Amino acid sequence: MSQSKIKRRVGKYEIGRTIGEGTFAKVKFARNTETGEPVALKILDKEKVLKHKMAEQIKREIATMKLIKHPNVVRLYEIMGSKTKIFIVLEYVTGGELFDKIVNNGRMREDEARRYFHQLINVVDYCHSRGVYHRDLKPENLLLDAYGNLKVSDFGLSALSKQVRDDGLLHTTCGTPNYVAPEVLDDGGYDGATADLWSCGVILFVLLAGYLPFDDSNLMNLYKKISAAEFTCPTWLSFSAMKLITQILDPNPMTRITIPEILKDEWFKKGYKPPVFKEKDDTNLDNVEAVFKDYEEHHVTEQRDEQPTAMNAFELISMSKGLNLGNLFDAEEGFKRETRFTSKCPANEIIHKIEEAAKPLGFDVHKKNYKMRLQNLKAGRKGNLNVATEIFQVAPSLHMVEVRKAKGDTLEFNTFYKSLSTCLEDVVWKTEEDMKELHV
């Protein structure tokens, strides 16, 4: 920055920019200062966790991650705790979301889609064999590594409420509506394995068709379509692909195809090679209980150093197209959820200009250091639109500004950003699109 900013460090990890956030957690880019390895640091607020009685569930979920050492699952390296926070250190995946490929290139050829579906089914089968159910398989949780291999995230960390009742069934309605199984929408309980498989079927449909099998702007109509499995396969699909999708998207979980049956399916078997890998037992999770205890000896050190924060080359490259862990697009609608521009103006002037532009658009502005939170006072289609902005120093006289949807509707975010960019014409040097064109 052109002025000093607080640089945070937790234990041996130096914390960088925010790359994702939810109701109970934020995910930050971080670097292991001992090895130089980049990681994703998931930060949970301990007070919120305890207030919502989530502690025992999180302990169980983290402990199950010790069982999951699959090459197509995002790795959990370690867990740490401070007086106020819980830190989960995860593998940093650089290839973006699988569904960015759909947004950018349209539907996939069957051979390409089949390769990803092979990896997805292998992951789901492996995790189910260890009693772990995802329950929220969706575009945001399907990432790609630098080699184009699938990496499923949040396996075992997605369920944050009581899991199984006395009847042995799950009763929490969770997940993204378009990908959720019919039995999950009912209140009669459901089997986690068959529910996960339904989500896999929706994902396969999207890969092959380029659009969702069940979609409706009215939530009740959407639920009716899902409950009746009301969908039509596009004509360009092969008969064997249609047959498999229809068997997976069976609204009756008792007659829905199972994973052993999928492994024998004619379409699935083409080019299939069973996964061969050696499980590594090098994750230290002995301190799962300790992070929740309020004992000083169990706490990791949080340090705040007052120093200029610059964006290094690795972070700058990681924010480029195709190398971003952040959710750059809404897979269902094709709208951006995050964008950036560079400016030669001083950081304080950029902040002032954004504030000046946002307030007339009906946004309340909260500032902290070189970050801003803009909240629309008027509720939109999915509640109040929240926009997060952060300024990074790329060079002494050049800053990059990240503008990201934190909450609310993606289409409303795109409309807001168009209005904002019009007001900032004298501030913007190059937009993200301009920067991409330089590399073409």
DSSP string, 329-394: B-TTT--BSEEEEEE-S-HHHHHHHHHHHHGGGTEEEEEETTEEEEEEEEEEBTEEEEEEEEEEEE
Comparison of pLDDT for 316 and 78, the residue scoring more? 78
Q: Is the pLDDT score of 73 beyond 60?
A: yes
Residues 61, 105: one domain? Answer: no
pLDDT over 90 (residue 230): yes
One domain for residues 61 and 106: no
Other C-beta atoms closer than 10 Å to the C-beta of 376 total 21
142, part of any domain: yes
DSSP assignment of 80-93 equals: EE-SSEEEEEEE--
- Same domain (yes/no): 132, 229: yes
305 is catalytic: no
Q: Are residues 89 and 119 in the same domain?
A: no
d(CA 23, CA 126): 29
What is the C-alpha to C-alpha distance for residues 359 and 230, in angstroms, rounded to an integer?
Answer: 44
Mean pLDDT for all residues in the chain:
79
* Counted domains in the chain: 3
Is 42 annotated as contributing to ligand binding?
yes
pLDDT value at residue 262: 97
- Residue 79 contacts residue 87 (beta carbons within 8 Å): yes
Contact 180, 199 (CB under 8 A): yes
Sheet holding 25-32, edge to edge: 76-81, 85-91, 38-45, 25-32, 13-21, 5-10, 302-307
Among the listed residues 435, 406, 328, the one whose alpha carbon sits nearest the alpha carbon of residue 95: 328
Residues paired with residue 18 on neighbouring β-strands, in sequence order: 28
Task: Report which residue type is found at 420.
Answer: L
Q: Is 312 inside a domain boundary?
A: no
**Segment 210-236 mean pLDDT:** 91
202 pLDDT higher than 90: yes
Residue 294 lies in a domain: no
Q: Residue 106: inside a domain, yes or no? A: yes
**Residues 25-40, mean pLDDT to the nearest whole number:** 89
- For residue 24, give the CATH number of its domain: 3.30.200.20
* Residue 426 and residue 366 in one domain: yes
How far is 318 from 211, CA to CA, in rounded Å? Answer: 28
Per-residue pLDDT tens for 164-173? 434 343 334 4
User: For the residues 162-186, what does the mean pLDDT come to?
Assistant: 58
Same-domain pairing of 339 and 434:
yes
- The average pLDDT across 341-353 equals 86
Do 120 and 182 fall within a single domain?
A: yes
Q: Do residue 87 and residue 156 come from a single domain?
A: no
Same domain flag for 357 and 433: yes
Average pLDDT over residues 71-77: 89
The structure's pTM equals 0.63
Catalytic residue selected from 100, 111, 125, 136: 136
The pLDDT value given to residue 244: 97
pLDDT digits (tens, 9 = 90+) for 374-424: 998 887 777 788 898 988 877 777 888 888 888 887 788 888 888 888 888
Parent domain of 212: 98-269
Query: Do both 24 and 158 map to the same domain?
Result: no
In a domain, 252, yes or no: yes
> For position 205, which CATH number holds?
1.10.510.10
Q: Which of 254, 269, 284 is the last residue of a domain?
A: 269
Q: Is residue 316 part of a domain?
A: no
Percent of the chain topping pLDDT 70: 76
**Residues 6 or more apart in contact with residue 101 via CB below 8 angstroms:** 108, 144
Q: How far apart are alpha carbons 80 and 342 in whole angstroms?
A: 35
Residues 6+ positions from 137 with CB-CB distance below 8 Å: 124, 152, 175, 179, 196, 199, 200, 203
Q: Which of 54, 69, 93 is the last residue in one of the domains?
A: 93
For residue 326, being part of any structural domain is answered with: no
At residue 157, the pLDDT reads 60
Do residues 325 and 143 make contact, with C-beta atoms less than 8 angstroms apart?
A: yes
Find the radius of gyration of the CA atoms of the chain: 22
Are residues 239 and 113 part of one domain?
yes
How far apart, in whole angstroms, are the C-alpha atoms of residue 331 and residue 166? 37
Residues 156 and 265 in one domain: yes
Please check the confidence at residue 320 and state whether its pLDDT lies above 70: no
Residue 195 near residue 186, CB atoms below 8 Å: no
Single residue among 269, 295, 312 that ends a domain in this structure:
269
Mean pLDDT of 264-288: 78
Has residue 322 been placed in a domain? no
Q: What is the CATH number of the domain that holds 349?
A: 3.30.310.80
What pLDDT does residue 2 have?
Answer: 40
